Amino acid sequence: MRHPLESISAYLDGELSGGERDDFVAHVGSCGRCARELEEVQAVRSAVRSLPVLELPRGLIPEADAEITPLRRHRGFWVGAAAAVLAIVVAVAALVTPAPAPLTADDLASRFGARVSLDPAFGPAKVVAPRVEQGLSE
Partner 1 sequence: MESVPLTWEEVARVHGRKIYNFAYRLTGNPADANDLVQEVLLRVRKGLAGYQPGSFEGWLWRITRNAFLDEIRKRQRRPTNPLPDELDRWDAATSESADAAYDRISLGDDIQKALLELPVEFREAVVLCDVVGLSYEEIARAVAVPIGTVRSRIHRGRKLLRELLT
In angstroms, the CA 105 to CA 117 distance is: 9
The one-character DSSP state at 67 is -
Least distance to partner 1, CB of residue 6, Å: 5
Residue from the set 17, 18, 19, 71 that interacts with partner 1 by CB under 8 A: 71
State the amino acid at position 67 in one-letter form: E
Cα R_g (the chain), whole angstroms = 32
Residue from the set 3, 13, 92, 118 that interacts with partner 1 by CB under 8 A: 13
Residue from the set 8, 28, 34, 38 that interacts with partner 1 by CB under 8 A: 8
| 90 and 97 Cβ atoms separated by less than 8 Å | no
Which residues are at the interface with partner 1 (CB under 8 A)? Answer: 5-6, 8-10, 13, 15, 40-41, 43-45, 47-57, 60-61, 63-64, 66-67, 69, 71-75
